Every structure is written in C-alpha cells, then in structure tokens.
Amino acid sequence: MTATLTHTHHAPSNADDSVVAWVETIAELTQPEKIVWCDGSEQERQRMLDDSVEAGTLIRLNPAKRPNSYLARSHPSDVARVESRTFICSESEDDAGPTNNWAPPAEMRATLDGLLEGAMRGRTMYVVPFSMGPVGSPLARLGVQVTDSPYVVISTGTMTRMGADALAQIGPDTEWVPAVHSVGAPLQPGEEDVAWPCNDTKYIVHYPESREIWSYGSAYGGNAILAKKAFALRIASMIGEEEGWLAAHMLLVKVTNPRGRSFHVAAGFPSACGKTNFAMLRPSLPGWKVETIGDDIAWMAPGPDGRLRAINPEAGFFGVAPGTGYSTNPTAVEMLASNTIFTNVALTDDGDVWWEGLTGEPPAHLTDWQGRDWTPDSESPAAHPNARFTVAADQCHAIADTWDDPAGVPIDAIIFGGRRATNVPLVAQARDWEHGVYMGATLASERTAAAEGTLGELRRDPFAMLPFSGTHMADHWQHWLNVGEQLNQSAGAPQIFQVNWFRRGEDGRFLWPGFSENSRVLAWITERVEGRVDAEDSTFGLVPKDDSIDWAAAGVSPEDWEALFEIDSAAVGAEAEDADDFLESMGPKVPAAVVRQHSEFRSRL
Ligand code: OXD
Ligand code: MN
C-alpha cells in the first residue's frame, strides 16, 4: 500500500497540503500504479495524445485534412450521460428533491468505497487541477479531479483552464471541489488494455454538504469530465443557492445591432436542442452581429449595480456533432477544422471525419462509429446520434472579445427554449421576472439522444436543469425568484423570454426555418429590451405585434406565421393539466409565485 504513496512526493512543491493529503487518500483506496500531476502544458498534452494513439484510444486523423485532430470510439455501452445512475446524496432526501436520484450518503460511500478499492490498479492516476472561469476571476471556482482516463485528462485540458495556474490558486483557505473518477477497469499484471476501458456498473455521485463528486464506470462526457455537468451545474447550483448566484444550463452570446449597440443574452435549452448552433448564429438580418461567449453553461451573479453579470465557466465546447453542418452552423464547421477531438463520429476513407448533417450527401463509404464498414444503404447512422467534438473556445472565430472577461458580461435578456412540435409559440416575452421564472419552471421538451430514454417523448425539463440541478428543483425556482429581487429593473435587469424554433404544421413540416433566421427573433428580443417595439399580450406572454418581425423575409407564409402563434385551447388546456400534475409532483416547496402564475395562465386560457 505504501508503495503507491511514494509517488505523491512528485506533487508540485506549491501544491496545497489539503490537495496532497486528498490525493494520497484516494491513491490509497484506488491503488494506481503511478500518480502524475498535470501541469496543463502543451508538451504534456502532446505526450498524452501520442500515448493515447499508441494505446489505441485515439486515432490520429489525416493531418493534411484535419491537423492535430483525433477520433475516439467509445465502448458501445458508454455513449451518453446516464441520468439513471446520477445521484445527489444530500444528508436529507428532501434536499435532493423529487427530480434527483438519492441514496443515504453513508450507504453510497460504502458502495463506492467497495467499487473503488483497487479500481486504478495497473493504471496511472492523473491529478488534474482546474479553474472554472478565468483564473483569478471573482466569479471563478476551483476544482481538482483525479482520473485514470487519459482521454478525460485531455478533454478536461480543453474544457477548463487546467494545470499549474489553477493549482497555484489553491491555498490553505481556498475552497476547492474534489472530484474522483475511475473507469472501473483495473489491469492485472501483464493484462492488455482495451481502447475504451469502462465498467457496466456506473455511478455519478454528488455530496452537496461536502461538495464532493465521485464517478465510477464511464469515460463519456458529462459522466467523466466532471468539471462540466457535475461541478459547473450540479455542485455550482448548490454553491450558488448558498451564495446568491445562479448556475444555469445556458449559452451566452453578445448581440450587436446595426446601430452598434451590444446586448448580452443567456439562453437555456435542454441538451441537444441546438445551443451550440444558437451560440454561433450567423444572422440573416443585415447589419447584425452575434458573437459567442459560451454554448452550455453560464454562471450569473447580481452585481452591486443591480445588473446580472455572467461568465462562461468553461474554456471549450463539447458539442453534439450530428446536425452541425455547413448549412446549420458554418462557424462550428470552421472551428472544427483542426485541433479537435471527435468521439463516435464516422471515419472517411482518407482519414477525415463525417457525421449526419455535416454535408448534404454522405460519402459513398465510411467506417462507422463502431469501426464497421458503412455505406449510405446501411441501416444505422454512421455517427452515433450523441457523437461529440471537443475543441477549445479560442478555435471559434466568432468568439466575443469579452468571452473571458474576469468581470463577466451584463445580461440583458434570458431565453428559455425547448423542442416543441405543438402549443408553444415562436417567441413570447414574460410579463415580469416572476412570470419568467414560471416559464422556466414549466419548460418542456421532446427527448433527444443526449441522455437515455425514448426519443421524441415530451418531458418537463425545468430551467433545462432537470438532469443538472444539485438541489430540490422547487428550491431552485425559489432561488431564481430571490435573485430576481436583488436585480434592479431601472438599472437594466434582464427581461425573460421563451422561444420555440421547432413548431410543426399539421403536415409535420417545421413552420419556422430556424438557424440564421433565428436572428430575427433575437433582434426582436433586443428591441423589446430597448423598448423600441410594441408587443401584444397573449396567453403565453407578450408576442410580436404589427409585423415587428419580418417573417416574410425569412420565407415564412402568412398562414405559417399565424400557425406559429396559434393557440389550440384544447391542446394547451391538456398541457396545463399536465403542468398541474408536474407542479404537484414537486411537492410542497413549490413557490407560491409559481402556483400563482400557473393559475393565471389557466385563467387566461
Ligand atoms: C451536454 C448536455 O453535453 O447537456 O451539454 O448533455
Ligand atoms: Mn448541456
């Protein structure tokens, strides 16, 4: 046992004792062959990439086509976040609430100790310090992940500010989040490794009181890159509720109108509803500019001036590849031209990558995400529907100059959206903050491939945080109401809106073209913020009036434009009843303000 511990003597001399002691405890439990402290340097990254190619975890893509880029193929059983194996183990079950899996923390600790005992045998344990948010920003938070997956180290190196600078921020009095990760596949002496080690048993566990994360059995995305969903959303939502700020599953953009005035907008959509496409929107509207700040997570805190200021705590994009193409998101396609890790996309015969939606025509032959021959006649898609790209934020040429401003950006508008074939209008503005919180609380969307479950099924996804809230969902709503009270309307507190790009006609056609045409809706939103255009009240909120959106220029017919706002009282009524059940299922903590907004919604019907 002590043999493993000698390795921690290689801890950087400035590593805080609290980190060193924790690393030793985890090493004692998991018994790695060696321990490596990551410094985040280019050389370290290149060495790990080269080693991963040698080990078969990564395939080097053709450097003439895709310089410095790699393909990973996961185990076919390890392809998405596993919400059914994700736990919030608060002392009291009520603090996790009805939307989270819960187990008594002592019981869970015993289970995980059993699984993790010797789990890293034969492997290297990497110590990965990281900062969420610009290093040293007052809004940033620190964490340290240990992991036995080089793929996870490489990914965390892209998705966070990882390495020596982050470690140097941790002193004796610094709070930092410890995150333990093992793929759960120890190697016996002489045993050959596999390309994607993982375990059929999976746990992604959060302890709110001690702010710890423990993950076992998966190397995929949010299950394993713990800085992202586990820290920046689940643990951060707990910290935010205590400290008075918001951890939101939201993209961030800077929008500049033809008069040169800029706005910052945060937008929350459930997973795989096009957040990255929206974050990199190329406006069809002449003279407008949209620049990217983040595509997945926003941390937002009320400032002393009564405005809400936001940072993107991440440093890269872990986006869904299928559906990212020249016609839907040319900025992303250009961003992925080099320095990218792809996971579960298809390989072309000349060593490049392809996925459904990248181009109109698929190549005549590919190797699919599982390494099998593929032709356009094949029955299954060439790329897994949840295939991903991992790329640094500064690869995006639409990145805003303020994207890593340590002070954050002031938010002018907050948008909620989902994938809704029916009922929900193209856009509606909340009458006030409380109404906006109601919009967020009752948000629903059709299920996508980013998580397990039946595709297309409608599910409530309040604040797009259903899989990501570390607290009782109703407490989360109350917290939003509380934060709203600290904001100052006259100083420019954000207005709240709801959008739906996905409404379909009776024939199943999308009624709105989406993508670059969404700039028309975004422009309307900023004009509402400025008070330049009128709106009219409707069941869902304030909707555009007098053709203040030029829908004809977007190629939409007058009938379709009307259908985008149509209210089928029977269908909306049925949905309101479903919302009754949903609010009921949240239990007695549902804020009175949300109940009041719901009955107001019903009475307007
Ligand atoms: C993501 C998700 O990966 O929401 O961003 O699933
Ligand atoms: Mn997400």
Ligand 1 neighbourhood includes 270 CB (under 6 angstroms): no
Give me ligand 2 centre to Cα 462, in Å. 14
CA 464/CA 584 separation, integer angstroms: 19
Closest atom, ligand 1, to C-alpha of 80: 6
Tell me 203's DSSP state: E
Residue 455 has pLDDT above 90, yes or no: no
DSSP-assigned beta bridge partners for residue 215: 181, 204
Nearest by Cα to 572 from 500, 512, 510: 500
| pLDDT digits 0-9 by tens, 298-354 | 999 999 999 999 999 999 999 999 999 999 999 999 999 999 999 999 999 999 999
- CA–centroid distance for 399 within its chain: 17
pLDDT tens profile 24-40: 999 999 999 999 999 99
Distance CA 46, CA 34 (A): 19
Mean pLDDT of the chain: 96
Q: What is the pLDDT of residue 188?
A: 96
Distance CA 409, CA 377 (A): 48
Categorize the per-residue pLDDT at 2 as very low, low, confident or very high, splitting at 50, 70 and 90.
very low
Q: What is the pLDDT of residues 495-549, one digit of tens each?
A: 999 999 999 999 999 999 999 999 999 999 999 999 999 999 999 999 999 789 9
Ligand 1 center to residue 267 CA distance, Å? 14
Contact between residue 350 and residue 81 where contact means Cβ atoms under 8 Å apart: no
CA-closest residue to ligand 1 atom 2: 271
**pLDDT of the residue at 490:** 86
Q: What percent of the chain has pLDDT over 90?
A: 94
φ/ψ of 181, rounded to 5, equals: -140, 130
296 close to ligand 1 (CB < 6 Angstrom): yes
How much distance in Å is there from the Cα of 170 to the middle of ligand 2?
28
Say whether pTM exceeds 0.85: yes
List Cα–Cα distances, 311 to 66, 142, 251, 265, in angstroms. 31, 14, 10, 12
Mutate to test the pocket of ligand 1, among 228, 233, 271, 466 (most ligand atoms within 8 A of CB): 271
The predicted pLDDT at position 457 comes to 77
Can you give the pLDDT at residue 10?
82
Residue 319 Cα to ligand 2 midpoint, Å, equals 8
pLDDT score of 451 more than 70: no
pLDDT at 567 > cutoff 90? yes
DSSP 451: B
Is the beta carbon of 461 within 6 A of some atom in ligand 1? no
- Catalytic positions, written as ranges: 273
Amino acid at 339: N
Tell me if 271 CB under 6 Å of ligand 1. yes
Split at pLDDT 50, 70, 90, the class of 458 is confident
Nearest ligand 1 atom, CA 249: 4
Using the atom order of ligand 1, give the atom closest to the CA of residue 275: 5
Instruction: Please identify, by atom number, the ligand 1 atom nearest to the C-alpha of residue 388.
Output: 3
Our answer on whether the CB atom of 318 is closer than 6 Å to any ligand 1 atom is yes
pLDDT of residue 241: 97
Cα distances (Å, whole numbers) of residue 501 to 42, 110, 179, 459, 567: 41, 46, 37, 17, 16
Model confidence at 1, in pLDDT bands (50, 70, 90)?
very low
Q: Do 421 and 456 contact (CB within 8 A), yes or no?
A: no
For range 246-259, the mean pLDDT:
98
Task: Report pLDDT digits (tens) over 388-437.
Answer: 999 999 999 999 999 999 999 999 999 999 999 999 999 999 999 999 99
Output the CA 366–ligand 1 centroid distance in Å: 26
